[in-house]
Structures are given as structure tokens and as C-alpha cells.
Structure 1
Amino acid sequence: MSLDEAKTKPHDRLRAYLEADLEAVNGLIRARMASEHAPRIPEVTAHLVEAGGKRIRPMMTLAAARMCGYKGDAHQKLAATVEFIHTATLLHDDVVDESGQRRGRPTANLLWDNKSSVLVGDYLFARAFQLMVETGSLNVLDILSNAAATIAEGEVLQLTAAQNLATTEATYMQVIRGKTAALFEAATEVGGVISAVPDAQIEALAAYGDALGMSFQIVDDLLDWGGASGDMGKNVGDDFRERKLTLPVIRAVARADEAEHAFWTRTIERGRQEEGDLDQAMELLRRHGTLEETRDEALRYAGLARRAMARMPDHPLRDILADLADYVVARVN
């Protein structure tokens, strides 16, 4: 089940509620990704921005501001900022991961080259900071610039922890908090900041974004193993083939006997993977119950997100955002 499967789903209810704002944000994105002197910039950017992404992060900014009663248009600039930061990180990630496909399409680095992807990502970061400054809020600039630094830090930490069986669960949580949750948190927090609501509400929005981002990434990592049941599908096992240590594997390694540890050493640390190894890896995850445990961890964070949203004043968007936290985890039921 996907986030945009049916009109009754929280993601679609949120999109419908924010339709006018999203149209304005999309216009702003198209205008700001233009370049008078380097036509490759809009070509590369449009390939990713217009590839059918769900716009979850910018919608968090718009929803937070609307829920807090904001009446201006700075929330639209901040939503575009968030999308630019996200897109820039995707461009850079695809180069680092040597990816060939994203959202069902060839990646920019495959269609153009690594240099173009990196430099266009840099351009989008610059555009993002221009948009932040235009809001006139030093607090907003502080929050989003810190998020950008945290994202980069999380990516570097993931790089240094990759293929290392000594990677701990705490390191994994730090990685996903950096690479995913930091932008979710900043996206919701700045919506409250520009609305000038009490600190308690801003803190609740930040807590919601952090917990939703953590749940979102844990679910994504779990889906790569076929969900909590480990159902084998056409895209299952990409993380295994790329030797990524996500939560189900980290916990299985921690409980491995000598033979199991030798298997993980060969396939993950040394990269010597053979026919049938994915099936064996899946069996080890089932044996140690780490798929179900990972789902429970995602559910725990979804509960934290819902409780944080309950601290906000009554509003239709509050209920939609709370439902979204549950729905993110429902993808792995």
C-alpha cells in the first residue's frame, strides 16, 4: 500500500486541504530553479522535482503554518526551501550511492553525469538559503541551516559506518535522525516559528516532525526487506545487495552465532554475495524476529508523533497529521 493509493488516505486529505498553497509552492520552485546562464540547471532539477515526489516535507511546513493560523506567504517560501534542500540531498546521494534509478526513472547522474548532479545540488542549496533569508527571520535561518548541516553529518556518518558489522543500533538511529528526521523536524518547526505561536506549540511541532521522520525512515528500511512479514517482491533486497546496515540486520548481527556472523561478514563486510544469499539473510532476520521488532520500533515513533500532535490546539489539520503518522507505519502491515 502506498501513501497516495486512495483519496481517503491522510496524504491525499492533506494535499487537498493545502491545494492552493501547493500550487503557489510549485510555481515558486519552477521560478527559482531557473538559470539565465546555465540551462542544464533547470533541466537536471526538473527531472527530479517533477518526477512525482509526494512533497511530504513541504506539506509539513504548509500544514504547520496553516494550523497555527498564519496568514502571510512566507510559509510558501519555506516550503520551497525545504523541497530544494531535499532535492539537493537526493542529487548528492545518488552520486555517492552510484544509483541508477530513483522514483522509477533514471537518476540525474546517469542521464547527465556526476559533476552536473553535484553542482546542481549545490545550486539548489544556494537557492534554498536565498529563500530562507527572504522570510526575514533569523530563527528560521538558524533552524534550517542547522538541519542542512545535520543532514550532511548524517550522510557522512552513514558513509563511515557502511559495511561495518560493528555499527551499533545507536549509530543507526543517529544516521537516520540526520539523513531523514532532521528535515522533517525543521520543516514542521519553522511553520510554527513564522506563525509566532507559543514555544510549547513550536516544540510540539518539532517533536512531531522528528518522530514522523524517524518512523518514515525505519519503515522505508523495513520495506526493503518486504515489510514486517518479509514478503519477497521485485524490489526486495536492494539494501542487502548494496551492503547497507539497517535496523533488522544490525539486530540480527548482534544475536548471530559463529556461523551466522561468518555469513554477515562475507556478504556485508567483504561483499562476496552468492546465489541464495538474500534468501538466507531473510531467514536469519525471521529467525531472530528482527523484522517484527523493527516494525514495533516504527510504531513506537508513530505513537510519539501522534502524542506530540495532540499537544496542538484543535484543528482539522491536526487530525490529518496525526492520522498520517499512523498511515506511514500502515505501509508495512
Structure 2
Amino acid sequence: MYSNPLEEAARQAQICNACRYCEGYCAVFPAMHAERAFAEADLVQLANLCHNCQNCYSACQYTAPHEFDLNLPGVLAELRQESWEEAAFPAALGRAFHRSGTMLALALIAGFAVLFLAARNLPGDGEGFYAVLSHNAMVAIFVPAFVLPLMALGVSLRRYWKRIGGGRIRLAHLQNAFGSAATMRNLAGGHGDGCNFQDEDRFSHARRAMHQAVMYGFLLCFAATSVATVMHYAFDMPAPYGLFSLPKLLGVTGGILLCLGTLGLLRLKTMGRPELQAPDVRGGEFGFILLLFTVSASGLLLYMLGSTPALEPLLALHLGAVLTFFVLTPYSKMAHGFFRLAALVRDAQRKLG
């Protein structure tokens, strides 16, 4: 852990800039080599471009016990974390989750689940889930829980964009950034062999694959909810839906991908090298992974056991997990996807002008 990550990142970046051995490894090094000196905005941008694949550390000749004692993935991880916490709105919530994320997530899930169990005594207005909790009640709870955190995240991103010196965004910048994010290009390694996140002598695409499973699983689940909303309001086709309906096909597929991806990331996180990450926030990282797994696993169980007496407790657990996910989005590791995308857009501005 560094007492001043910004100052230490500047020192290490100057040495890396002189060496240039890792030039082709990821987007960090071309962006680094485009500068002769590093302002705060440059270093924060580099930190958020870094995907912590750790290939550069394994290849570096200046790591400990060399007197230069380089650990670029580690110092960028700490600086990246600091940039998220400073941009968070309000910042105190970001710090609280990253320090005690697992306990905070579990407490919120349990608390919200108890409230949803109590709300089952309110009259329902439909079939399936809506027989337990009315559609209007769900809308009244989840619309503010979605919109307000989204607004807080918008404030955070605006702060971050200003800090890294972002300019006017063009369509070409977005296309370049989304293309990189969609393929997880920066987790492929400099030669396309993957990264050595677990073992410095072995390259693997496992981390890239698990990130893609989580990302596309989440997007499929979001698409399922969006399609169901359109069917409900535009075509007067309320839930529940059958297995071969579009919402179910999207949601079940997304839920399975999310379960597999989160379990894979949890395994990789426990096998990784903590000294090359931000050690103080591992609780928040594990908490976020477990939260996503609870959301997806409880959703799948709810679908499989929805016609049994387990419906009410499973629905309370699932809704509690989903509500916790929404409330914590601006402060959990979920926000890192938005910040990383912003860093990719900023890098596209550097490349494309």
C-alpha cells in the first residue's frame, strides 16, 4: 500500500516510459509513451485504462528486489480505486462499500428481504409474482431505486470526466471505446495469449472469458426486463411469461451466464496475487461478486420453484438482492465498468483526435 499513490504512479510511469519493454501489452503503454511528463489527469487516465492483467509486472526487470521496486499494476490499482472514491456522490458511501462491501451487501439484502416478506400481506393484483406483491408496488419501489442511483452515477462520471481532462465526444470515439469493451481487448495480452493474472509463467484467457460472461449476462438480463416492460405497457401483455417467450429466453440465458461468470471471477480472485491489486478494497470486490451471484442465482431459482411454497421467500430474497444492487451501483465495483468505458473514450480521443 502506498501513502501517496499519485506520486508513486508518477515515479513508476517515468521509469516505464524510459524502458518501453511492455509497449505492446495493452492500451496503457501507448498512452503512457505519448507523454513526456505526467500530470494528475494523465495518471488517473492511465490507472483507469489498466485492466490489471499483470503481464507487465511478470515481464518487468525492475520489480523487487531491484532498487526501482516497480509494481505498476499495484500502484495503478490503488490510484484507480482512489479516483472512483473521489468521484463518488456522495464520496463517503463509496469508501464505505469498498472497505466493508461484503458485510454491507449482506446486511442490505437481508433487510430488504425482510421488508418484502412483510409486504406480502398487501393485496396482490395479478398472477405469479404479482399475486405476492402488486405490480404497482414493485414499480413504486424499483423506479426510484433505479433512477436515483443512476443520477448519482451521472454526477460521479461528470466529476471523473472533468478530472481526466475529457473533451467533446464524437461518434467515432464511442465506436472505438465500445468495440474495445465488447471484446475485452485489453485482457487479451500483448500477443493475444491472455494474461498471467494467476501465475506469471502461464497465460490464460480465463479472466477475459469470465468478465465477458458477466457483462453479456447482465446485458441479457437488462434486455429481458426492458422487453417485458414494453410487452406490459405497449402490448398489454403482463407477466408471467412462458419459457419460450422473449423475456424468459433472454433472462434465463443471462442468469446462467451471470452465475457462471461470477463464480469464475470469485475463483480467480482468490487465486490472484493480492499485492498486485488494491488490498484495502478486496472486501468490496468480493461483496460485489457475491451480490451479482445472489441476484442471478435467486432469479433462476425463482423461475424453477415459482409454483412451489418456496415462491414467497425466494421472491423476497431476489427482490432484496436486486434492490441492493441498484442502491449500491454508484459505489460498488459495478461503477468501474462506467469509469473504464469513460477511460476508453478518452483514449479514443487521444488516438483519433
Query: Higher relative CO (CA 8 A, sep ≥ 6), structure 1 or 2?
Result: 2
Q: Name the TM-score, length of structure 1 as normaliser.
A: 0.29
- Structure 1 or 2, whichever has the larger Rg, is 2
